[in-house]
Amino acid sequence: MRFEPALEQGRLLRRYKRFLADIETAGGEQLTLHCPNTGSMLNCMSEGARVWFSRSGDPKRKLPGTWELGETPHGRLAVINTARANALVEEALRAGLIAELAGFTALKREVPYGQERSRVDFRLDYPQGAAFVEVKSVTLGFADSTVAAFPDARTERGAKHLRELATLARDGVRAVQLYCVNLTGIDAVRPAEEIDPAYAAALHEAVSAGVEVLAYGAEISPQQIRLVRRLEVQLQSRRVD
C-alpha cells in the first residue's frame, strides 16, 4: 500500500477528545487532524514526536487531514490509522502473501455472521468450505522488548468477536483471528492480560475451541506499508507458532 500523494511530516502537539490531534508541520503550520484510532494509543505517541499525515483536498471535510503514522517513544514507527489494517490484509491476501490463507476462490468483506450479530472482516471461500477471518491492528509495544500486545485498552467488542469465532470453530467452520502488527521492530504478539484479562481469557477459550491465531508484521515507512512476514503468537499457557 503506497501513500499517494506522499505523506507530509510534522510533530505532535497533543491528542485530545479521542479523535483529534494538533500537529505542527515541518513548515511551521499548525493543523488539527482526524485521529482515526479508537484505542488508548498506549506507548504509541508522545508530544513532540514525529508524525506523518495525509492531507485531504475535499472542501467538505471539517479537518484538513488524517494522522497516518507516528514515531513511538521507543523509536518505532506505528500505523495510527487503524482503518489501514483491513486494507493491508486484503492486499496481502490477494497477493498470496499470507500462506495459511492462500488458495481462496472468493473474498467478501464485512459479512454478517454469528449469534451476537457481528460482521466478520473477511469471509474467504475455498473448495472445501468457508473461512471467517477477524483482523485486529496491533500497535502496543514496550521498551527493550520485541513482543507487542493486544489490546491497548479494554475491548468488549474484541472479546465478542472471539466468542463468535469460537462458536464457528466448534461447529466445524474454519475461524481465524489475524493480528496485523502495525509496529516496527516486533517479532511476536501476546494478549495484554494486564490491560484486559477478559479479552485474554476469551482468546484462550477461542484457541481451545479450534480458532486459528495468526500474526503478520508490517514494513512501515512514510512511502508505503505492507505485510511482510509471519510473527510468533505467544499465549501464557501455550504458544501458537
Give residue 57's pLDDT: 78
Domains detected in the chain: 8-74 (2.40.50.580), 84-240 (3.40.1350.60)
Give residue 238's pLDDT: 43
| C-alpha cell read off for 100 | 495459511
Of 238, 160, 165, 235, give the one whose Cα is nearest residue 199: 160
> What torsion, rounded to 10 degrees, do the Cα atoms 89, 90, 93, 97 define?
-50
Eight-state DSSP code of residue 153: S
| C-alpha cell read off for 21 | 490531534
Eight-state DSSP code of residue 105: S
**Bond into 59 cis (ω within 30):** no
Helix (H, G, I), strand (E, B) or coil at 201: helix
In tens, the pLDDT along 90-117 reads: 999 999 999 999 999 999 999 999 989 9
Eight-state DSSP code of residue 172: T
The residue written with cell numbers 477478559 in the block is: 198
In tens, the pLDDT along 117-169 reads: 999 999 999 999 999 999 999 999 999 999 999 999 999 999 999 999 999 99
The residue written with cell numbers 474484541 in the block is: 158
At 239, the pLDDT band (50, 70, 90 cuts) reads very low
**Burial of 103 per CB tally in 10 Å (0-12, 13-18, 19+):** exposed
d(CA 225, CA 230): 15
Give residue 200's pLDDT: 97
In tens, the pLDDT along 44-102 reads: 999 999 999 999 878 888 999 999 999 999 999 999 999 999 999 999 999 999 999 99
Least confident of 26-30, 177-181, 232-236: 232-236
The residue written with cell numbers 499470507 in the block is: 98
Of 115, 114, 205, give the one whose Cα is nearest residue 123: 114
| C-alpha cell read off for 164 | 463468535
Catalogue the E-assigned strands of 56-158. 65-71, 77-79, 106-113, 118-126, 129-138, 147-150
Helices in the chain by DSSP H: which ranges? 84-94, 156-170, 197-209
Contact (CB, 8 A) for 43 and 72? yes
